[in-house]
Chains A and B, each alone.
Chain A
Amino acid sequence: MKYLRWLVIIPYFCLATLPLCWLFLTSLKTQEAAISPTASLIPSTAENTAPGSLSFSATLDAYRKLATPHTGKAHAFFHYLFNSVIIGLLSTLTSVVLGTGCAYGFSRFRIAGARDWLFFILSTRFLPPLAVVVPVLMMYRVFNLPNTHLGLILLYTAFNLSLAVWLMKGFIDEIPRAYEEAALVDGYSPLQAFYKIILPHSATGMAVTAVFCLISAWNEYGFALALNNAEAVTVPVYFAGLQGNIQGIPWPKIAAGVLIFVVPIAIFTVLVRNHLLRGVTFGTIKQ
């Protein structure tokens, strides 16, 4: 039984991680080495390596080249990365602020039809982007919002609100009511109790919620593709758009860009590892 376990884990572990290791190795190669018909596996510091050998000369060229645009593209990778950062951070901020307030309201006050409202909020997460994006686009045209950062920030805020409300409600429900009641007895107003008791006690929850909102916004593709074709193009739209579009795709450069794009997410995943279950089940399952 003991060995059977490793018989499952080791092969899957390799399958899961090898593509990511390969990503890193590719980002250190030259274009010739990356698309050579014999794959080289070992980075070496030697200037020249024999063709067909298992080692290749490692270079940081791909990372340097990221600053120059692809032929036929208006901007370099960092321009799109900057769009992703701005849109991700601001939409996360607004969804966590609105979501925390909403979760507190549902957690502590008697609200008519609270259950129905909460389930309505949850249901919004399930709508397929492509099936609702056209009306959003028409609405945006009235306000001149297509192709703007603000447009995507607003849309991602709405998209992430359901997650933020449900996660935050889970966290706030865990804070004992006695804390606030004691504060009220001490003469705090309900609003003060919220600021001085609830907010500090739900700091971890807000951080975890923020990470999940940021990751969804960071990775989102459908909405971003449909609403933007010039400005405010995010990294997923930029990368997926390269499929079939440019001749002789410069893979080391792409690999370097992909790596820069996914490393923060991998780090965040490790940071919130104990809350992943909550995050993917909208806070309905707690460990």
Chain B
Amino acid sequence: MRVKDGVLKYGFVGPALIFLIAFNIFPLFYNIYLSFTDAELSGGVTQLIGGRNYGVIFDDTRYGTALRTTGLFVVLAVATELILGFALALALQKPFWGKPAITTILLVPMMLSPAVMGLYWNFILNGHYGVVNQALSVFRLFQPQWLTDPDLKLFSILMIDIWMWTPFMMLIALAGLNAIPNHLYEAAAIDRASRWTVFRRITLPLCSPLLFLAILLRTTDALKQFDLVMAVTGPNDRATQTLSALLYQVMFRGYKIGLGSSYSIVILLIVIALATIFIRYIASIQAKQGRETA
């Protein structure tokens, strides 16, 4: 079988690899080069200007604000989604009538387009005719201006993100719960362990590897938050300007792609670090699976 393998195997893997290098490795390095130039989106003469772009970062208050906004968003979104998703998974752990249908329906929001649903949420959260405020008015409650109050805009985007991505945490947490062998629970029942002890000593520790995986995936994704910001407030709103939104504003509205590239290096470094952790983690899980099956 291994006679003509030499040519054949590269025929199989080659095209995909060439594609990925052209669209990922090349842009990555070209981006680093651009960050040392004064390149503009409109073209024209581009000059190397050394590290001047990186100097500008520290003068630009937008950058620090965007970092803080992104950090706040990531922490709040991932934490809330994790807690809600895990609670849902616990509620869905045992079989009951209608469980498959309910689980599937709950998963739908995470498959939808954030940009499109973001626009539609403008309608739901509208301060005058939005259905949320109308519901609040029925109960004579205070009706916040979700989309125009600078203190609330980021919170509104956060709510939409939680609506979309809690099912993701639920899905992975459910897989973790399903993988816990039943005999552990039976043993705990014989020992008359309290519910809290069972949760703390069996459920949580055995679920945590998968929860960690889910947190990593969601964090890298939330760090890139762009679609919802664009659909709810646009890229140039100080209250909601995440790093990706700032990049868009600098590069595609201000046409400063050299400067934008230097701004993007920091987010790239964070994402690459997280991706590396994720990949190491996957590798360790696979090694473990390999040992178990061997």
Seen from chain A, the residues whose Cβ lies within 8 Å of a Cβ on chain B are: 4-6, 8-9, 12-13, 15-17, 19-20, 22-23, 26, 34-39, 98-99, 101-102, 104-106, 109-111, 115, 117, 119-124, 126-136, 138-139, 154-155, 157-159, 161-162, 165, 181, 184, 190-191, 215, 218-219, 221-222, 225-226, 235-237, 239-240, 242-244, 249, 251, 254-255, 258, 261-262, 265-266, 268-270, 273, 276-277, 280-282, 284-285, 287
Contacts and interface: CB of A to CB of B under 8 A. Distances in A.
A9 B110 CA distance: 17
B9 A105 contact: yes
B157 to A, nearest CB: 12
A140 to B, nearest CB: 11
Interface stretch (B48-56, B57-65, B122-130, B200-208): B122-130
A8 B28 contact: no
B274 to A, nearest CB: 7
A112 B220 CA distance: 29
Nearest to B280: A119
A240 B115 contact: yes
Interface in B273-294: 274-276, 278-279, 282-283, 285-286
Interface centre among B111, B163, B223, B278 (most CB of A within 10 A): B111
Nearest to B94: A5
Given A9-B88, A235-B116, 19 more contacts: A16-B163, A19-B121, A101-B13, A102-B15, A105-B10, A109-B8, A121-B20, A122-B282, A128-B267, A128-B271, A131-B267, A190-B4, A219-B111, A240-B118, A254-B123, A262-B113, A273-B104, A284-B282, A287-B178
A280 B131 contact: no
B22 A158 contact: yes
Contacts of B69: none
B112 A132 contact: no
Contacts of B94: 5
Contacts of A39: 129, 131, 134-135
B119 interface: yes
Given A219-B114, A277-B175, A128 B224 contact: yes
Contact of A134 (B34, B135, B234): B34
B217 interface: yes
Nearest to B33: A135
Contacts of A5: 91-92, 94, 96
B120 A131 contact: no
Given A98-B19, A123-B275, A131-B264, A243 B234 contact: yes
B111 A269 contact: yes
B226 A221 contact: yes
B71 interface: no
B188 interface: no
Given A9-B102, A158-B19, A261 B175 contact: no
Contacts of B19: 98, 157-158, 161
Given A9-B92, A130-B264, A135-B27, A104 B12 contact: yes
Contacts of A265: 111-113
Contacts of A157: 19
Given A9-B102, A38-B134, A225-B230, A111 B111 contact: no
Interface of B: 1, 4-5, 8-13, 15-17, 19-20, 22-24, 26-28, 30-31, 34, 41, 84, 87-88, 90-92, 94, 96, 100, 102-124, 128-129, 131, 134-135, 163, 166-168, 171-172, 175, 178, 210, 213, 217, 220, 223-224, 226-227, 230-234, 244, 247-248, 251-252, 257, 260-261, 264, 267-268, 271-272, 274-276, 278-279, 282-283, 285-286
Contacts of B1: 181, 184, 190
Contacts of A119: 279, 282-283
Contact of A240 (B100, B116, B268): B116
Contact of A105 (B13, B121, B122, B167): B13
A-B CB proximity, top 9 nearest: A105-B12, A158-B23, A135-B27, A102-B16, A105-B13, A219-B113, A135-B30, A109-B9, A131-B264
B113 A236 contact: yes
B119 to A, nearest CB: 5
Residue with the greatest number of chain A CB neighbours at <10 A, chosen from B123, B134, B276: B123
Given A13-B106, A16-B163, A240 B16 contact: no
Given A102-B15, A120-B20, A134-B251, A244 B134 contact: no
B282 to A, nearest CB: 5
A280 to B, nearest CB: 6
20 contacts: A9-B102, A16-B105, A19-B163, A22-B124, A101-B11, A105-B9, A105-B11, A109-B9, A119-B279, A134-B261, A158-B23, A190-B8, A236-B113, A243-B230, A269-B108, A269-B111, A270-B104, A281-B217, A284-B285, A284-B286
Contact of B247 (A105, A130, A239, A281): A130
- Of the listed residues A37, A109, A240, the one surrounded by the most CB atoms of chain B closer than 10 A to its CB is A240
B281 to A, nearest CB: 9
A280 B172 contact: yes
A156 B24 CA distance: 12
